[in-house]
Structure 1
Amino acid sequence: MDLPPASAHIVKKLPSHIQRYLSSLTPDEALAFAKRDIENASVASDDDPELYGPLFRNISTFKRSYEWMEWMLKVYIYGEGRKPIFHTPHRTGIYSSEGWFLMLMEENRQFVTKDPEKAHLFYLPYSARQLQMELYVPNSHNLKPLAVFLRDYVNMLAAKYPFWNRTHGSDHFLVACHDWGPYILKEHEELQRNTIKALCNADVSEKIFLAGKDVSLPETTIRQPRRPQRNVGGNRASQRPILAFFAGHRHGRVRPTLLKYWSDKDDDMRIYGPLPNRASRVMSYPQHMKSSKYCICPMGFEVNSPRIVEAIYYECVPVIIADNFVPPLSEVLNWDAFSVTVAEKDIPKLKEILLAIPLRKYLIMQTNVKKVQKHFLWNLQPVPYDLFHMILHSIWLSRLNQIQVPQPS
């Protein structure tokens, strides 16, 4: 089908003739129309106070893509699946991202459709955390029962509906923050290979998370679900006397090396295992982050760390140490603008690397951390460009990238 010229600018309300035209298209044809318009996006103006250009890889294409998502995207949520594994958000702790997204998606009226024929995306509404709590036998080291459970669930959907088999699962998505999220997909080849996976454990070395297709899910620690933004904020740059801070358990391949070289070695480098009483009596863990220029975010057993988003919440420049990690929302965000990445082999030179960053560059990064913070916040009622919308946009973008745009004849 020959498509008419894309609109010069997408606004909150599309012109009626474009609305009528889009309503006549299949979901894939409508996505192709949107994709072509996004690819031809003109340079964005600076008239949007909600967005700050230096944070983004390409602010113009992000704005256009986000506008299309808000106007057009429809998600079908499968009703199948018994509680508590399905439709039951777990909203506290370090794996809370999957629960918050599940809750806000199921409550949403703008993006959710009850008509699967109109859907651009299909959501598998389970919680990896709840799956672990319900089915894992403690100390068994056996994840197969969890993987078999998911395999059987997907096979049931494929037998009941035409939608999975129509695309072999490529227009379906899942959201899983538990460390085991990638590993419990292994019993279903199409689920592992084709589905859009939003995972906190975004490790490219294991060949399950596929950069460019899958979405790196931010790992957020929420302690009070009714006040998800409690304690957000930090000291100004001039009131951060500590160069670098880390406190946490000594596990995985990176943290023992970090502690070997920097624990109790240098007063500028406040590097601890669990925060000792002598330090916590002076300042709490959040106060340490709010008083540090750089917050060290080393991987644990897996590449992801909740400290990355904690650092952003406390306006401390994150220092990521995890060689195979894809940072969250990196489809659109330019992480070099507000964070530092240090190779695992360079841990012995960590202080040297941080001191080599000019003060002017640090001040810009710290300002950018404060500006990017809004994109990592959960809200009880979602607002534009917050974490719910940013995760959904990354999933939408992955779906959009599947679409082949017809060439003009």
Structure 2
Amino acid sequence: MKRILTSWLAMKSYELMERTLKVYIYKDGNKPIFHQPILKGLYAAEGWFMKLMEENKQFVVKDPAKAHLFYMPFSARMLEFSLYVRNSHNRTNLRRFLKDYTDNISAKYRYFNRTGGADHFLVACHDWAPYETRHHMEYCIKALCNSDVTQGFKIGRDVALPETYVRSVKNPQRDLGGKPPQERHILAFYAGNMHGYLRQILLKHWKDKDPDMKIFGPMPHGVASKMSYIQHMKSSKYCICPKGYEVNSPRVVEAIFYECVPVIISDNFVPPFFEVLDWDAFSLILAEKDIPNLKNILVSVPEEKYVKLQLGIRRVQKHFLWHTKPLKYDLFHMTLHSIWYNRVFQINVRR
């Protein structure tokens, strides 16, 4: 069987994490911003990690002196929901709130100051998280859905968090899977809101232009439209994943979930787990300028290569799934490993 992780170093790092890693979780902070995970919808990734980390008995320690890493368990989504003044276009108070929190734990405990926060980490899926955590959490390891190198995301320190749209809290794997390659008769599919400039370009070139390219705007609301969206993904060879307002899109993980080869179109986007997974083995990553030539690129992929890409999705799918009780190599463990891996990397670089 092919190795799950791509490098010997990554394999050893994962094994070392499982044997030795200890995490201290700060109890400071009140609900709903702290310690209240959102487990459904677009921002579910930060909530599921928070829930599973706070419930964990393998890695979590009560004595901070025994910890290798320190988790600051806030929800960027609840920060926005609780404090943002609608239509104000001013997020300064959100940033100040997290600065006050950071100042509090650095004054109350001795652990933050000894490394400048380099052994502390946060997990945030909201688009605004890079801004909210800038400066006062600058040296912390940031697991972010908005993994944009032009907005301060540091490769080798920060972690690209998969953006996962969870539809069922009780069964986050509901509807998992899709049709086999020979039964996928739609070449390419996209449907979604017109967030950002890139999706406008995509629709300009491909909406209603080619029967093989099922490129839509928003689908009608309702249960039937949700099933239609899912069935399109399950029946398509390629699922187009253009960026929205920011570089990230939940469609990348949705495509993997429904075994549709993701076509990622987002300059400056850092793919999740790129340090241990070979994205070329299960996705296509295109430049934004390639949109006018999109169909030619897709039809030029040999059938043999497409079948390998689809098989690659089924091999890596386990890394992008949440479980109510975490399993080895699942999304919880892979996210925690990336945080651990980058911390070990930082220490080795300094040496």
The DSSP-based 3-state class of the residue aligned with 1:404 is: helix
Question: TM-score, normalising length from structure 1?
Answer: 0.83
* Selected match of 1:301 from 232, 245, 249: 245
The answer to whether the 8 A contact 1:147-1:185 is kept is: yes
Alignment partner, residue 320 of structure 1: 264
Query: Are 2:62 and 1:114 equivalent residues in the alignment?
Result: yes
Alignment partner, residue 141 of structure 2: 196
Query: Are 2:109 and 1:165 equivalent residues in the alignment?
Result: no
* Selected match of 1:397 from 318, 341, 346: 341
CA distance in 1, matches of 2:350, 2:333: 28
Structure 2: any 5+ residue segments left out of the alignment? none
Alignment partner, residue 127 of structure 2: 179
The DSSP-based 3-state class of the residue aligned with 1:198 is: strand
Alignment partner, residue 6 of structure 2: 57
Cα 1:283/1:387, change in 2 over 3 Å:
closer
Code of the residue aligned with 1:70 in structure 2: it is: E
CA distance in 2, matches of 1:282, 1:402: 43
The DSSP-based 3-state class of the residue aligned with 1:400 is: helix
Q: C-alpha deviations, 1:198-237, integer Å up to 9, x for none?
A: 000000012x211121000000001110110001110000
Shift of 1:371: 1.2
Shift of 1:56: 3.9
CA distance in 2, matches of 1:313, 1:282: 15
Identity %: 59
CA RMSD, aligned part only?
Answer: 1.6
Query: Are 2:104 and 1:156 equivalent residues in the alignment?
Result: yes
Code of the residue aligned with 1:199 in structure 2: it is: L
Query: Are 2:136 and 1:136 equivalent residues in the alignment?
Result: no
Shift of 1:403: 1.5
The DSSP-based 3-state class of the residue aligned with 2:52 is: helix
CA distance in 1, matches of 2:226, 2:321: 28
Counterparts of residues 200-279 of structure 1 (less than 5 Å): 200-206=145-151, 208-275=152-219
CA distance in 2, matches of 1:126, 1:203: 21
Alignment partner, residue 381 of structure 1: 325
Code of the residue aligned with 2:296 in structure 1: it is: E
CA distance in 2, matches of 1:80, 1:281: 42
CA distance in 2, matches of 1:405, 1:252: 37
Structure 1: any 5+ residue segments left out of the alignment? 1-45, 47-51
Larger Rg: 1
Cα 1:274/1:405, change in 2 over 3 Å:
closer
Shift of 1:282: 12
The answer to whether the 8 A contact 1:233-1:315 is kept is: yes
The answer to whether the 8 A contact 1:168-1:190 is kept is: no
* Selected match of 2:309 from 350, 353, 365: 365
The DSSP-based 3-state class of the residue aligned with 1:324 is: coil
CA distance in 1, matches of 2:245, 2:305: 32
Counterparts of residues 15-164 of structure 1 (less than 5 Å): 46=1, 52-53=2-3, 56-58=5-7, 60-164=8-112
Alignment partner, residue 287 of structure 1: 231
CA distance in 1, matches of 2:287, 2:136: 33
The answer to whether the 8 A contact 2:219-2:225 is kept is: no
Cα 1:256/1:368, change in 2 over 3 Å:
same
The answer to whether the 8 A contact 2:156-2:346 is kept is: no
Shift of 1:276: 5.6
Cα 1:398/1:282, change in 2 over 3 Å:
closer
* Selected match of 2:291 from 347, 359, 371: 347
CA distance in 2, matches of 1:341, 1:64: 28
The DSSP-based 3-state class of the residue aligned with 1:275 is: coil
Cα 1:247/1:351, change in 2 over 3 Å:
same
Count of matched residue positions in the alignment of Structure 1 and Structure 2: 349
